[in-house]
Amino acid sequence: MPRTVHVNIHELFQASPVVRLADSGKNCLKHGSLQGRIALVTGASAGIGLAIAKTLAQKGVTVIACARNTDTLLALNRDGEIPKGTKIHVIKTDLTKEQEVLALYKEIAAQHGKLDILINNAGMGGKGTLLDGDFEEWKNLVDLNILALTLSTREAVKLIDGKSTNGHIINVNSIVGHRVPNMPSAHFYTGTKHMVTALTEGLRKTLQSKNIRVTSVSPGAVETEFAERALGKDPEASAMVKAYFAKAKALEAQDIADAVVYALSVPAHVNIDELTITPTQQVTL
């Protein structure tokens, strides 16, 4: 049975024998360097995806970032937010369109010849309950949260060299992929994230013989625009989220990016199956 590791993100980076904070304030990893690896980050235009793309680039990873809106990503290269000599390669992609996903991977193959890391971060939330939800919204959730992730993974595996020890697929999941919150407007979204949990575990078992590691990263409350965008039409749920952020310290997108770096950097014989990360003060959903 896979082992689930529940961690507090701040304790992880202060106490872990694998990770220490250098005097400069930057993370110093004792194990595998990420320098020179090639990574695709989906949904990279904002929030967690943007933080992951920037952090990996700062670690010397060749980052390919895709999103429907690429303005923010293009600005990173112009504004000097990543180290000199590195660049985030930006490809505008709608992951719910099969042909665009296939074209994305065709371009990656042509430009880079391979892929080492896939970060399946793209996702969306929903606003309706199971009794009054909109059918088109449900379809959109399935298309992006499940089908796009699965299609992208299928194509990525074709480009990952199983003879290397660098192959790694990370699915940005959610704590609601492991439990059901007392928030009716989030229940369909919760269902899609439970599917991500099942797909991640199935993929890990499928790829064991191919030397490709698979990790689920499941954040709790993260202060990004995601929650507000997802719950904007549900006043009660939106008020609940705002009240939480007002009284408790939520996770930041950078916390999740640091967790991704940790999972990528442990020794090759170690697979972090699951990282469930919550704010210290989050005890309920």
CB 268 within 8 A of CB 168: no
Using DSSP, state whether 218 is helix, strand or coil: strand
What are the residue ranges spanned by the domains of the chain? 4-9+32-278
**Amino acid at position 103, single letter:** A
Mean pLDDT, range 24-46, rounded to an integer: 74
| Euclidean distance between CA atoms 52 and 82, whole angstroms | 12
Asked if residue 40 lies in contact with residue 158, where contact means CB atoms within 8 angstroms, the answer is no
Q: 139-161: b or e for each residue (b if 16 or more CB lie within 10 Å)?
A: eebbbbbbebbebbbebbbebbe
For the chain, the first-to-last Cα distance in angstroms comes to: 26
Helix axes 253-265, 47-58, angle to 10 degrees: 50
- Is 189 annotated as catalytic? yes
Least confident of 1-15, 91-105, 123-137: 1-15
The DSSP bridge partners found for residue 171 are: 120, 216
Options 3.40.50.2300, 3.40.630.30, 3.40.640.10, 3.40.50.720; CATH for 4-9+32-278 is: 3.40.50.720
Q: How many CA atoms lie within 13 A of 63 on its CB side?
A: 33
At 225-281, the pLDDT tens digits run: 655 665 555 666 667 666 666 677 889 999 999 999 999 999 999 999 999 999 987
